A and B are shown apart, each in its own frame.
Chain A
Amino acid sequence: MGNMPKVIKGFKEETVTISYPEAIDEAGRCYLCHDAPCSKASPVQTDVAGFISRMRSRNFRGALRLIKETNFFPGITSRVSPYDEQCEAVCLHKRYGGPIRIGELERVLADFDRGSRRPYLPEIPESIGKSVAIVGSGPTGLSAAVELVLNGCKVIIYEAARVAGGVFTKGVPSYLISDDVIDHEVGSVLSLGVDLVTGINAGESINLTSMKQSFDALLLTIGMEKSRRLDLEYCKKADVFTGAEILESLKLKAKRLRLGEKVLIVGGGNVSMDAATALLKLGVGEVTVIYRRDREHMPVFESRFQMAHRSGMKIMYRTMLDGIICDSQNAISAVKLKKTVLKETEDGRVVAETVADSEFTKDADTVIYAIGQQLDRDLVDQFDLETNEMGRIKVDQATSQTSDPFIYAAGSCVERVDTITTALAKGQLVARNMVRCMLEKGGGR
């Protein structure tokens, strides 16, 4: 019965890539299109045809270098980003024999580089005499750091957690990607000469006045750290977690989770599916996901949905959580659910409305919210930054500056970012904006 503490162990990376002979065949299949659509569909504009062409003549090193020019984290993105919905989706080979498996090719190259004696590191250009502090070491922050360093800036990153990497280290389950890959690719950023300070709560430790004296700019890539929760009445001791908490504790092995045998997960995104998959892999008896709309409205990547589906996840569409019922020992015994009906709004969005008198109960002993993240306002309030109607930091589109021109912001704390590759692209963009603005302002400090 419920509430048995589960021993959280790391998972072994389960996804396998294609073998060397298969990769050579696959690269050979590519048409090497003119003005290739795959490159345009890649959020970071990777020269896909270019690297495949190099791969075909067994120039693996050159191919990897070309990828790294636009994506410093190919080992991570090729495992986690939905290439099938990005570059592979527009591959013109689709009609004859299916799209080229670009993600797998990239992964083969990244693994080749990681295993080589001298993994690739770009040359650092001459300093332009600018120095930047970055708060947050998630994909956007790391990607911005790389771009800044490659433009001759000095960079220091402040990270609140014990380790750098943000969603890489906290949010992506180990069965999708092994720690080695993350360590290697995050570590390679530090090898470029980026300084990293971990365990720093920026809100408490960073003084803006002294910052302005020591740095030319401050970049916030703080992501959406707070998990949303439903405002429901239930006893406070009950086992209600957030998806992010579950994934983080699996990943960092920091906490022991008291999980039951009948887990209910609320939400239809990647965090929800990843949590479901992970718990089922841990041996949780029953994991049910409820989602208020239909499959086609779920923001989850197809591959991650399939993974949860294969692991045995149960799913209830058009269902909402309406209440949590606890027993006399303050433990969850059941949940109250309601059915929904879908309606199209005037602006074309599909919203779910609850159906009157559709309430029903379902046995459950653990509830997990995976209904999205929100901005942790501590730092924003401390720096007195303006936010937008979406509750995110407001920035100037052209310069990426916040209401304080010294402070820049990018990534999911500014706008909706769906994939890690997109986050990388945002990091590159903000870095370029920063370099431009810093140089326009003129002179070194």
Chain B
Amino acid sequence: MDVNLKIKFCGVTLINPFIVSQVPPNGELETIKAQLEAGWCGVLLRTASLSADPRKPTAARIRQVAPFYRGVDYEEKRAVDLGWIEPESPMSVDEAEAATASLKEAYPDRVVIGAMVGRNREEWLKVSRRLSQAGADIIECDFSISAAEENPRGPRVVDDLKLMEKAARYVREGARNTPIIFKIPGMLAGKEQVVNILKSADAEGINLFYEPKGVPGINLTNFVPFPNVGAKSTLSTMGGAGIKPYTLGVLAEWGKVNKDLEVSVLGGAYNWRDCAEYILMGAKLIQFHGAVLQRGVRLVDELNSGVGDYLNEKMVSSLDKLVGKSLPFFTTPDKLPRTGRVVAAIDDKTCIHCGICYQVCEGLGYHAINFSSQRKPVIDKKKCLGDGLCVASCPVFNCMSLRRVSTK
């Protein structure tokens, strides 16, 4: 079957739904070109701001600390999550304009998303106008930042719905016909109002991001939390593979209230399975950050191949048909069916007789697995409640499963 991964996002056709989000020190033009050469559908530029002094080169504006990345290890597995101290380094609008123009010229089939922030009417209007004139395919305006000039850690734009409504209209006005999306923190209350406001401002989409703040760990020898920056530390942005389930939850929650805005997502995508899941949960554009830092730009080959083969396997001709396919299955706990019975099953051919299923079931107190002296676990179908802990704990792939049984 002839499949391609083309997808339309906010009226713009993408060669695939995988894009790299630039966060310093990433985002230099040469790096972006290497990413586009590798096959990513486009680039989301570093955030442009009028407050960034165009006379100073970006490198001089980056007030970076060292080290600023820190992996989170679990037992033998390295970097199951990744944290970094968020750099403060907006791009000047001049730089964003230049980068957009040069990239659009060199890679006309790729998309350039101009990212921006603003704090007042003038900034929202001007920056969006300039990015749109420079040829950006889409403009992304970050509403997760503070709007108070004097207080950069103060209330965010999204926290003041009236301000957000105004801001959205200014960006719409400035961007003219260029599609606009708004960057919204995924863990936000009042999702429905946010969707309605953005819809009424004629926004095309939202970029839901879930990169929570955290502390990757503590050095138990000297008590300094990670990353250790000259014996001090601070909150890190957590954006490694470990946050995927949370991002998926964010998509599910927004999917319930959002029917019209197209969805881009940022956070925790590391392989094609994550992508397929995000798409099934309603996303059309998947932004990559941590994974590209750790795995390199060639990761896109694996994504293309993985999602492509998945489409083939499912006999689906285009990605569009999968967007949001999982949302109808998602509901609230009170609506979950309470009838029917599920029991665990063990594939005897695969089982290695480790006894872990028995151990966890005993621990729960269900005593639904018998473990003979020959070390053969046997499910007691009368006692098994089908909770699934044994399936989750079994160390062997494809050994245990859950089966629905008729209740007659």
Binding site for B on A (CB under 8 A): 24-25, 27-29, 31-35, 37, 56-57, 92-93, 95-96
Interface residues of B in 330-364 (CB under 8 A from A): 352-356, 358-359
In the complex formed, the residue of B with least CB distance to A57 is: B75
Identify the closest chain B residue to A56 (Cβ). B75
Residues of B within 8 A of A (CB): 75-77, 352-356, 358-359, 371, 375, 395-396
Q: Is the CB of B354 within 8 A of A34?
A: yes
Q: Which residues of A contact B353 (CB under 8 A)?
A: 92
Q: How far is the CB of B366 from chain A (nearest CB, A)?
A: 15
A34 touches B352 (CB 8 A): no
Specify which of A28, A32, A37, A93 is in contact with B77 (CB 8 Å cutoff): A28
Q: How far, in whole Å, are A96 and B396 apart by their CA atoms in the complex?
A: 9
CB contact under 8 A between A95 and B352, given known A31-B395, A34-B371: yes
Q: Are A32 and B356 in contact (CB under 8 A)?
A: yes
A24 and B76 in contact (CB under 8 A), knowing A34-B371, A37-B375? yes
Q: How far is it, in angstroms, between the C-alpha of A114 and the C-alpha of B311 when the chains are bound?
A: 57
Nearest CB of chain B from residue A383's CB, rounded to whole Å: 44
- Is B76 in contact with A92, judged by CB distance below 8 angstroms? no
Please tell me which one of the listed residues B76, B352, B354 contacts residue A29 in the complex, with CB atoms under 8 A apart.
Answer: B76
A32 cross-chain contacts in B, Cβ below 8 A: 356
* Alpha-carbon distance A29/B76, docked complex (angstroms): 8
| Chain B hits for A33, CB < 8 A | 354-356
12 contacts between A and B (CB under 8 A): A24-B76, A27-B76, A31-B352, A33-B355, A33-B356, A34-B354, A34-B358, A34-B371, A57-B75, A92-B352, A92-B353, A92-B354
A25 surroundings in chain B (CB, below 8 A): 76
Q: For B75, what are the chain A residues with a Cβ–Cβ distance below 8 Å?
A: 24, 27-28, 56-57
| Residues on B with beta carbons closer than 8 Å to the beta carbon of A24 | 75-76
> Are B354 and A96 closer than 8 Å at their CB atoms?
no
Nearest to A26 among chain B residues (CB) is: B76
**Lowest 5 CB-CB distances: which A-B pairs, in order?**
A28-B76, A34-B355, A34-B359, A33-B354, A56-B75
How close is B408's CB to chain A, nearest CB, in angstroms? Answer: 34
Contacts A27-B75, A95-B352 known; 12 new A-B pairs at CB < 8 A: A24-B75, A28-B76, A29-B76, A33-B355, A34-B356, A34-B358, A37-B375, A56-B75, A56-B76, A92-B352, A92-B353, A96-B352
Min distance, Cβ B79 to any Cβ of chain A, angstroms: 14
What residue in chain A is nearest B359 (Cβ atoms)? Answer: A34
Are A31 and B76 in contact, with the CB atoms below 8 A? no
Nearest opposing residue in chain B for A24, CB measure: B76
* Chain B nearest Cβ from A24, distance in angstroms: 5
Residues of A within 8 A of B359 (CB): 34
Bound CA span A282–B354, Å: 46
Residues of B near A57 (CB, < 8 A) are 75
Give min CB distance, A32 to chain B, whole Å. 7
Measured between C-beta atoms, what is the minimum distance from A98 to chain B in Å?
13
CB proximity of B370 to chain A, nearest CB, Å? 13
Which A-chain residue is minimally distant from B362 (CB atoms)?
Answer: A34
Interfacial chain B residues near A27, Cβ < 8 Å: 75-76
What CA separation (Å) do A92 and B351 show in the bound complex?
10
* Interface pair A35/B355, CB less than 8 Å apart: yes
Set of chain A residues within 8 Å of B354, measured between Cβ atoms:
31, 33-34, 92
B323, chain A: closest CB distance, angstroms: 37
- Complex Cα spacing A96 to B397, Å: 11
Specify which chain A residues have a CB less than 8 angstroms from the CB of B352 in the assembled complex: 31, 92-93, 95-96
What chain A residues lie within 8 Å of B77 (beta carbons)? 28
CB closest residue in chain B, given A94: B352
A56 to B73, CA, bound (A): 11
Query: What's the least CB distance linking A18 to chain B, in Å?
Result: 13
B396 (CB) vs chain A CBs: closest residue: A96
A96–B398 Cα gap in the complex (Å)? 13
Determine the distance from Cα of A32 to Cα of B77 in the docked complex, in whole angstroms. 16
Would you give the shortest CB distance from B75 to chain A, in whole angstroms?
Answer: 4
The answer for the CA separation of A28 and B75 in the assembled complex, in Å, is: 6
B358 surroundings in chain A (CB, below 8 A): 34
In the bound assembly, the distance between CA atoms of A29 and B75 in angstroms comes to: 10
Q: Give the interface centre of A27, A28, A34, A57 by most chain B CB atoms within 10 Å.
A: A34
Chain A residues within 8 Å of B355, by CB? 33-35
**Residue of A at shortest CB range from B354?**
A33
Contacts of A37 in B (CB 8 A): 375
